[in-house]
Amino acid sequence: MNNRDVMLNKAKEHFGKLVEEQLSRIERMKEDKEWVDYKSLKKIIIGVCWGDGIGKIISKHSERVLKFMLREEFAQGKIEFRTIEGLTIENRAKHKKAIPEDVLKEVKACHVILKGPTTTPQEGDKWPNIESANVAMRRELDLFANVRPVKISKEGIDWCFFRENTEGAYLLGSRGIDVNEDLSVDFKVITEQGAERIIRMAFDFAKNNGKKRVTVVTKSNVIKTTDGRFSRVAKRIAAEYKSCGIECDEWYIDIMTAKLLDPARRRDFEVFVLPNLYGDIITDEAAQIQGGVGTAGSANIGRKWAMFEAIHGSAPRMVTEGRDIYADPSSMIRASAMLLRHIGFIERAEQLDMALEICSQFEKRIVITGRDNGATGEEFTTYLLECVQDPVLVKKWKKFAGI
C-alpha cells in the first residue's frame, strides 16, 4: 500500500469506529426511560466540586447559600453535602484524564452536583491537552439538557434556553483526526433520539409554564445533514404541541444573535432550543444582556443525575491578579436556585431567584465590580441572604417589577 492508501484506511477505520460507537449509544438512549424521583429518596446527596480558579471561592459562597436555604432538611439528615476534591486541573492533569476514575465514582454516588468552573486546557498552555471536565461529565452522566434561563423583569425579558448538551460539535470534539500534515477533520453528531429528548423537554417546559412559543435555532440551510435533522425533529414534535397553543418558529443562529440585541423584538422570544455549540455561544450573549456572564446559571439535566454550574469559565486571571475574592458568585448561586427547583424546593428556588434580582438589578446596596472598588463575593452573599429574608424589600421589588 502506498502512503495515501495507508492514510485513507486509517481515516476510514477511525470513522467506522465512531459510527459504531454512536449506533450503540443510540441503543442505550432508546432503553433509557426512567427518571430519578427525588421525592422517593430518604436523603438527597449534593456533591460539591469546587473546580479551578475562581471556582474554589464562588463554590463556597454557593454552598453557604444552599446550606442556608436547606438548613431544616440538612439538620434532619434529609440532605447531605459531600465535597468532591479531585476535579482540579492539577489532579486531572496528573491522571491525564478529563475526570479521573475515582472522582467519577464519587460524582456518580451523589444525586446532584454543584460544580465550580474548571479549567479547560487547550493546545499550547501549560496543561496536557485533555478533554474539558464539563464536556466529559455531561457525556458520562448523560446530562443531555443544558437549561439556561435569562430574566430581566423590568424589560419584560424571560428567556429559557434549552441547549442540547451531549451531541453536536461537542460529542466527538476531542476525537477528530489529523489525516496528514495538511488535513484535519472534526465530526458533528445529531441523533434522532438526542434531538427529540431536548426538543421535547423545551416544548414540555413551554406547555407547563404558560409559554406560547418555542424558537428552534440552527444553521440548517448550510449544515444540512445534522442541523437538518434537528430541524426536522423539531417540526415533527411541534406538530404534537400545536393543539396546546404553542407556536414554533425556526431561526438561523447568525440572525438570532442579532435579534437578541434588538430591544424592540427580543422580549417576544420565550423558549429556545438549539444544538450544543450554538447554545454555548448564544447563552453567553444572552447572559451578557442580563448583566454579564457572571450573572447566569446553568442546569445540566439527565435522567439519573443533574449538575449545576456557572455558565462562565474559571477566570484564572482574576486569581493571578489577586482579584478572586471580588469574583461574582451570582452565576453559581443562580445555579443553586436551579438545583433547589430540580430537587423539588420550588418556592425556595423562587425566593432565591428573586433575591438575586433584587440585589443585582433593583436595590443594589452592595455592588460587585470584580475589582477592589466593589464588594467581595462574601459580602455580596451576606447581602443576598439578608434579602431572601426581607419581606418588605420583596414587596417593593414585586411592585417595581410589576409581578
d(CA 137, CA 130): 13
Per CB under 6 A, does 313 bind ligand IPM? yes
Q: Choose, by CB under 6 A, the member of 134, 166, 231, 376 that binds ligand IPM.
A: 134
Per CB under 5 A, does 164 bind Mg ion? no
Decide which of Mg ion, ligand IPM, none touches 132; Cβ closer than 5 to 8 Å per partner kind: ligand IPM
Decide which of ligand IPM, Mg ion, none touches 145; Cβ closer than 5 to 8 Å per partner kind: none
How many residues belong to the chain?
Answer: 403
Decide which of ligand IPM, Mg ion, none touches 134; Cβ closer than 5 to 8 Å per partner kind: ligand IPM
Decide which of Mg ion, ligand IPM, none touches 120; Cβ closer than 5 to 8 Å per partner kind: ligand IPM
d(CA 117, CA 113): 12
Residue 99, C-alpha cell as written in the block: 475526570
Query: Smaller CB distance to ligand IPM: residue 278 or 383?
Result: 278
| In the complex, minimum distance from the CB of residue 281 to ligand IPM, in angstroms, rounded to a whole number | 9
Per CB under 6 A, does 223 bind ligand IPM? no
Q: Are 216 and 230 in contact (CB under 8 A)?
A: yes
The 10 Å CB-count burial string (b at 16+, else e) for 285-313 is: ebbbbbbbbbbbbbbbbbbebbbbbbbbb
One-character DSSP codes across 182-194: S-EE---B--HHH
d(CA 194, CA 178): 27
Q: How far apart are the first and last CA of the chain?
A: 73
Query: Smaller CB distance to Mg ion: residue 57 or 310?
Result: 310
How many positions of this chain bind Mg ion (CB under 5 A)? 1
Give the binding range for ligand IPM (CB under 6 A) out of 18-26, 129-137, 219-227, 383-391. 129-137
3-state secondary structure (DSSP) of residue 344 = coil
Closest by CA position to 349, among listed 107, 169, 149: 149
Give the binding range for ligand IPM (CB under 6 A) out of 47-55, 63-71, 127-135, 263-271. 127-135
Q: Choose, by CB under 6 A, the member of 84, 286, 311, 335 that binds ligand IPM.
A: 311
**DSSP secondary structure code for residue 301 in this structure:** E
How many positions of this chain bind ligand IPM (CB under 6 A)? 7
Per CB under 6 A, does 131 bind ligand IPM? no
Query: Smaller CB distance to Mg ion: residue 293 or 306?
Result: 293
Q: Choose, by CB under 6 A, the member of 106, 142, 164, 280 that binds ligand IPM.
A: 280
Q: Are 375 and 368 in contact (CB under 8 A)?
A: yes
Closest by CA position to 254, among listed 288, 223, 283, 278: 278
Per CB under 5 A, does 280 bind Mg ion? yes
Decide which of ligand IPM, Mg ion, none touches 142; Cβ closer than 5 to 8 Å per partner kind: none
Give the binding range for ligand IPM (CB under 6 A) out of 30-38, 130-138, 190-198, 327-335. 130-138
Q: Where are the alpha helices (DSSP H) in 215-368?
A: 226-241, 253-259, 276-290, 316-320, 330-342, 346-357
Decide which of Mg ion, ligand IPM, none touches 135; Cβ closer than 5 to 8 Å per partner kind: ligand IPM
Residues 6+ apart with CB under 8 A from 252: 217, 218, 219, 220, 221
Q: Choose, by CB under 6 A, the member of 59, 88, 120, 351 that binds ligand IPM.
A: 120
Query: Smaller CB distance to ligand IPM: residue 138 or 342?
Result: 138
Decide which of ligand IPM, Mg ion, none touches 199; Cβ closer than 5 to 8 Å per partner kind: none
Per CB under 6 A, does 387 bind ligand IPM? no
Q: Where are the alpha helices (DSSP H) in 225-275?
A: 226-241, 253-259
Per CB under 6 A, does 132 bind ligand IPM? yes
Q: What is the radius of gyration, based on Cα positions, of the chain?
A: 22
Binding residues for Mg ion, rule: CB under 5 A, are 280
* Residues at the contact surface with ligand IPM, assessed by CB under 6 A: 120, 132, 134-135, 280, 311, 313
